[in-house]
Amino acid sequence: MQLLKHMPKGALLATLLSTAPQIASAFYLPGVAPRSYTEGELVPLNVNAIRPVAVHDAFVHSLVSYDYYHPFFQFCPPEGGPKDVSESLGSILFGDRIKTSPYELHMKKNETCKKLCPRTYHKAAAFWLNQQIRDGISINWLVDGFPAAQVYNTGSPGFLLGAEINGEVLFNNHYDIFIEYHTVTGAVAGSTEQHRVVGVNVRPESRDYKGEIKEDTCLGNQEPVRLSESGDTTVTFTYSVYWIPSTTAWATRWDKYLHVIDPKIHWFSLINSSVIVVFLVLTVMSVLIRALKKDIARYNRLDQIELEDMNGTSALEDGVQEDSGWKLVHGDVFRTPSNPLLLSIFLGSGAQLFVITGFTIALALLGFLSPSSRGSLGNIILFLFTVLGFVGGYVSARIYKSMQGEKWKLNIILTPLLVPGIVFATFFVLDLILWAKQSSEAVPFTTMLVIILIWFIISVPLSFAGSWLGFRAPMIEAPVRTNQIPRQIPPATTYLKPIPSMLLVGILPFGAIFVELYFIMSSIWFSKIYYMFGFLFLCYGLMIMTCAAATVLLVYFLLCAENYNWHWRAFLAAGTSALYIFLNCLVYWVSKLSLSGFSGSVLYIGYSLLISFLFFILTGSIGFFSSWWFVRKIYKSIKI
């Protein structure tokens, strides 16, 4: 993920951010320095988890990743056995399992047909491996921390375990490794010539060796390896290394993975979303400036005039009631909604998610999510979730107190536990499925224990502290008094009924982000690197404005229809965009994925539901707070 530099404020900021993917330079997280090698020095080649990718039919057939040294793969281990390479917590959570390998790469030293080890595959392992090859599984190597790509397919990391050609499954056992290096000159190199790795490509081949393996053996033609599912198959692993000089600088070596795919689609999406936002904002401004200003002036004028006949038949009063029914519910609009405890908990978690998302995108935009720092995204999210538990507790307490809730102890306890608990429970169930499948993406028990300790030792106490301050703060007083007897709500028109209004409002924020959502999902399920944070930043801003404007309009129409139950309606209407996200995930499942196993389908649905739930909390909170501000603004402006 490439670092996008921060720009000046004002109009220039928006212009440059929108073109960030084109003008971005390779800027790396402080502390991640390039490593230089002298000629003949050993360059480390580490192996990572083996992941499924799209095959010849452009479909992903599996979601389960495996450890490189899974028993059925039988890859050659290094002398003394493979050793784990230290990883960050975020890297482990995102499925990285990096280990040492037996491959020896010496800077600028070409080597041909180096033999590793022979392996014998029994029929059970052969059957399993052939199925993995059909599903399109990809091997992932890291040379000097840089991922290797398959020759002629340099857009994404990894290279295929094998191939299916004319119905025959071929197993790759030879690897031609092409390493591009850049020679450092000047004062940086010092007295000795220094070289840096700037590119790695691998050409996997299937070779059934007969007889002794020599240096020129790999230059000839051999029959491909076919793993027999009815007997044993002996396979010998070999590799060749070729060093290629390159003019590519170390700072730009990630650019091959970070090119913008179809930038016109991004621009079309931004223009389309911008048109929607401009239309909604203009509509809201029209309501605020024309209708509300006129209504407020008329109401205040009526309060100053002594009317002798206010029996409901005067033309002036009828006009006021017909034009704006929202003043008629001034005594009920701030009435405590149903289930204020649950609503306040959701709003506290939503505020926490809002700040987490904003900070994460901002840090990515500033370049602190460098691809060279593996797991940085997971580390940032985990850190922000832990620290910002204070925000969730504070907001939840202030909202619950303003709603005159009485179960304040329950609010303090449930705010840091309910939404994170749902997320953790879902994640744990999905992790159990990965454990059962012996997947490398299954989070180890020790890592799970560390997350729980961070949650309960740091995040929960911070949330308690925020709730304590929130309840000690002065109550947010309503600008008007609430009547003791609730006003009767008249029947609503069709478009203001709960389900139609929620569906209408929810589709607008989804429309602002659905194109960018497609690229994010492709990077997740197709194992690609996402870095278009300039577009993502703008889409996130457009989504916030769309969500706020659409919900404010809905609340205004509800109040004009004398319906004062706006609290949950605002939250649920904006949160309905999560329903469209889940439906979009189902469409993506049908159109881009072809999952062969039941477990893969359960994993996909589970992760989609998890993402949709978090989005529901986020957008619902945006809708509620914007509506809350709007309602307080208009009722504060009139004289009661």
Residue 428 in contact with residue 605, Cβ under 8 Å?
Answer: no
- The position carrying tokens 């730009």 is 252
Residue among 229, 274, 5 at smallest CA distance from 122: 229
| Angle subtended at Cα 611 by Cα 517 and Cα 385, rounded to the nearest 5 degrees | 110
- 302-330: average pLDDT: 54
pLDDT in tens, 466-492: 999 999 999 988 888 888 888 888 888
Task: Tell me which DSSP letter residue 49 carries.
Answer: -
Residue 274 in contact with residue 542, Cβ under 8 Å?
Answer: yes
H or E element at residue 241: strand 233-245
Give Rg (Cα) of the chain: 30
Write down the pTM of the prediction.
0.86
Task: Tell me which DSSP letter residue 243 carries.
Answer: E
What is the C-alpha separation between 298 and 340, in angstroms, rounded? 34
pLDDT at 580 > cutoff 50: yes
Q: Mark residue 629 as left, alpha or beta (left: phi above 0; alpha: psi -120 to 50; beta: remaining).
A: alpha
Residue among 144, 265, 239, 269 at smallest CA distance from 195: 144
What is the C-alpha separation between 386 and 458, in angstroms, rounded? 6
> Which of 7-21, 160-174, 331-345, 554-568 has the weakest average pLDDT?
7-21
Residue among 635, 522, 621, 564 at smallest CA distance from 54: 522
- Both tokens assigned to 112: 């041909």
Tell me what pLDDT residue 515 has. Answer: 81
Tell me what pLDDT residue 167 has. Answer: 83
Tell me what pLDDT residue 173 has. Answer: 92
Residue 254 in contact with residue 197, Cβ under 8 Å?
Answer: no
Number of other CB atoms surrounding residue 212 within 10 Å: 7
- Both tokens assigned to 285: 């401004």
Number of other CB atoms surrounding residue 181 within 10 Å: 24
In 129-173, at which residue ranges do the beta strands (DSSP E only) sit? 137-139, 141-143, 146-147, 149-150, 159-160, 162-165, 168-171
- Both tokens assigned to 283: 């509509």
Tell me what pLDDT residue 529 has. Answer: 79
76, 111, 421 from 216: Cα distances, Å: 22, 11, 60
What phi and psi values does residue 244 have, to the nearest 5 degrees?
-125, 120
Structure confidence at residue 225 as a pLDDT band (50, 70, 90) = very high
In 495-539, at which residue ranges do the beta strands (DSSP E only) sit? none
Tell me what pLDDT residue 211 has. Answer: 79
What is the C-alpha separation between 462 and 412, in angstroms, rounded? 11
pLDDT at 619 > cutoff 80: yes
- The position carrying tokens 């030792």 is 457
Mean pLDDT over all residues of the chain? Answer: 84
Structure confidence at residue 99 as a pLDDT band (50, 70, 90) = very high
Residue 523 in contact with residue 54, Cβ under 8 Å?
Answer: no
Task: Tell me which DSSP letter residue 288 carries.
Answer: I
Pairing of strands 174-184, 233-245: parallel
- Both tokens assigned to 401: 């107190």
What is the C-alpha separation between 495 and 504, in angstroms, rounded? 8
485, 543, 627, 634 from 479: Cα distances, Å: 18, 29, 15, 9
Question: Residue 526 burial by CB count (10 A; 0-12/13-18/19+): exposed, middle or buried?
Answer: middle
- The position carrying tokens 């009722």 is 635
Tell me what pLDDT residue 88 has. Answer: 87
Bridge partners of 174? 205, 238
What is the C-alpha separation between 192 and 283, in angstroms, rounded? 68
Q: What share of the chain is helix, strand, coil (3-state, %, to 5)?
A: 50, 15, 35
What is the C-alpha separation between 162 and 160, in angstroms, rounded? 5
pLDDT at 105 > cutoff 90: yes
H or E element at residue 117: strand 111-121
pLDDT in tens, 278-289: 887 787 777 767
> Which of 63-67, 97-101, 281-285, 431-435 has the weakest average pLDDT?
281-285
Residue among 368, 494, 272 at smallest CA distance from 1: 368
What is the C-alpha separation between 588 and 586, in angstroms, rounded? 5
- 558-565: average pLDDT: 90
Strand arrangement of the beta sheet that strand 111-121 belongs to: 111-121, 233-245, 174-184, 194-205, 149-150
CB contact set of 621 (below 8 Å; sequence gap of 6+)? 346, 347, 349, 350, 351, 353, 354, 571
Question: Residue 392 burial by CB count (10 A; 0-12/13-18/19+): exposed, middle or buried?
Answer: buried
Tell me what pLDDT residue 343 has. Answer: 96
- 271-297: average pLDDT: 73
- 122-127: average pLDDT: 93
- Both tokens assigned to 414: 């449930």
What phi and psi values does residue 180 have, to the nearest 5 degrees?
-90, 135
Tell me what pLDDT residue 552 has. Answer: 92
What is the C-alpha separation between 199 and 219, in angstroms, rounded? 23
471, 560, 566, 622, 625 from 336: Cα distances, Å: 17, 19, 11, 19, 15
Percent of the chain residues topping a pLDDT of 70: 86
DSSP string, 340-382: HHHHHHHHHHHHHHHHHHHHHHHHHHHT-S-TTSTTHHHHHHH
- Both tokens assigned to 37: 């090698």
- Both tokens assigned to 500: 């139609």
Residue among 204, 149, 220, 157 at smallest CA distance from 179: 149
